[in-house]
Each structure stands twice: as structure tokens, then as C-alpha cells.
Chain A
Amino acid sequence: QVQVVQSGAELRKPGASVKVSCKASGYTFTTYGINWVRQAPGQGLEWMGWISTYHGHTHYAQRFQGRVSMTTDTSTTTAYMEMRSLRPDDTAVYFCARVSTVFGAVVSDAFDIWGQGTMVTVSS
């Protein structure tokens, strides 16, 4: 079935980096982009950015530019989100979610399939 499955929970110290993976299956990987959304404890959803799996172009939310990198590996149908210089307020559940694209351009308002989430804890 169509699904995206994320890597497991991570614990990092402040200043470190973390890389979360999102493995897609059950559909043609390059016809959907991958978004990353995070949710701090008790808070709402925050969009971080997205990557086109078709040509690898990325677009990051302004507040994450310079600290986040999103990549994909089409051979393994996996997307990755790496965040550097982690701070305690980066502690959150990180979700990947797919969005429909045509030739790499977003054509939908909806994130229709979500990963289960990856808890990232930043603590000394």
C-alpha cells in the first residue's frame, strides 16, 4: 500500500546535527514531492520546506534556511531532512508528507500521505 515510513527517535546534544529519513513505497516516487513539518510538544504544525523528488529542487521556510537540508535518493525512494546546530527548542516530532507534483511542480494544496513522525529530542 501507499505509505511513507520514517526513521526512529533521535536524541542529540545542543549544537549537534540530526538526519531523519522518510522511505516511500507503493507509488511512483518522482510524481510526489516531500514536505517536512514539525510539531513541538503541545504546539501546532509548522511547515519547514519541501523537496521535488523529480529534479531535487528545494524550498525552505525562511526561518530554517541555512540550517536545514532536504535531499532525496531516488534509487531507494527515500527522502532525508538534516538539521544542524540543534537547539533545545528544536525538540519536536518531525513529519514527512507527500504532495502531488507534475514535472516537479506542486499541483495540489494537500499533503495526502504522512509519515508516522520522528521524535527528535535536543538536550544536554
Chain B
Amino acid sequence: QSVLTQAPSVSAAPGQNVTISCFESGSNIGNNSVSWYQQLPGTAPKLLIYENHKRPSGIPDRFSGSKSGTSATLGITGLQPGDEADYYCATWDTSLSARYVFGIGTKVTVL
């Protein structure tokens, strides 16, 4: 079964850029598209990126997504205090027992 690995935390000062990577142990990222979710403290997750790089309406272009092979990356430019949150990558695992898999999450801290 697929496992999505993310760094547990990343920190940066306001205005700086950060990238969050998502590595997969299987082959599902290579075969399926990846979404990214932002979860602010005490709230429900919010869709940030879908189909590897697309942004839903209302998501600022400071957020970007990309995929290469079995890894995906979320980029945040011009970090703001309101970006302090947990970020999860996710994809469908279409192996033997189909399921939706979330990464373990990356906590972004704005210094």
C-alpha cells in the first residue's frame, strides 16, 4: 500500500518562500493526480491544489503545485502569518484495495 511522506515541519519568516514535498513509496503519485489541503488550527481542511497544479477559485496564486515522478511539491511564495497551518498532500491509492491516502502533514510555522 502507498504511503505519502512529508517533512513534519518547516518554518520561515514572513515574505519568504517555502516548499513542501510529498514522496510516495508506491507508484500512485506517478499514476494519479495529487491534491493539497490547508488546515488552519481548529478548522476543517481546505482544498488548495487539485490535479497536481490547479487552484480552486479564491485560492491566491501564491500557492502552487507541481508533480514529478513519484513526488509532488507545494510552493508558497511571500509567506504570511495567516499561512501558519498544517498542509497535507493526498491522492487515490488505486492498488489492490482502493483508498484515499493523506500524507502525514507538514506544519508550517511563520517566524
Using CB atoms and an 8 Å cutoff, list the residues of chain A in contact with chain B: 35, 37, 44-47, 50, 59, 61-62, 95, 97, 106, 108-112, 114-117
Contact = CB atoms under 8 A, between A and B. Distances in A.
B50 A47 contact: no
Contact of A109 (B32, B44, B46, B98): B32
Would you list the 8 A-B pairs with minimal beta carbon distance, nearest first? A110-B50, A47-B100, A114-B44, A45-B102, A110-B35, A109-B33, A44-B105, A112-B47
Nearest to A50: B100
26 contacts: A37-B102, A44-B86, A44-B102, A44-B104, A44-B105, A45-B37, A46-B102, A47-B99, A47-B102, A59-B98, A62-B97, A95-B44, A97-B45, A106-B92, A109-B50, A109-B92, A110-B35, A111-B35, A111-B37, A111-B47, A112-B50, A112-B56, A114-B45, A114-B46, A114-B47, A115-B44
Place the interface of chain B in its size category: 20 to 34
A49 B26 CA distance: 21
B45 A109 contact: no
A97 B35 CA distance: 14
Contacts of B47: 110-112, 114
Given A45-B45, A45-B88, 10 more contacts: A35-B100, A37-B45, A44-B86, A44-B105, A62-B97, A108-B50, A109-B35, A111-B35, A114-B44, A117-B44
A69 B40 CA distance: 29
A38 to B, nearest CB: 11
Interface in B78-111: 86, 88, 90-92, 97-105
Q: Which applies to chain B's interface (DSSP): helix, strand, loop or mixed? A: strand
Contacts of B92: 106, 109
A61 B99 contact: yes
Interface string B46-64: 1100110000100000000
A97 B47 CA distance: 10
B74 interface: no
A61 B34 CA distance: 19
Nearest to B91: A109
Contacts of B35: 109-111
Contact of B105 (A45, A59, A108, A114): A45
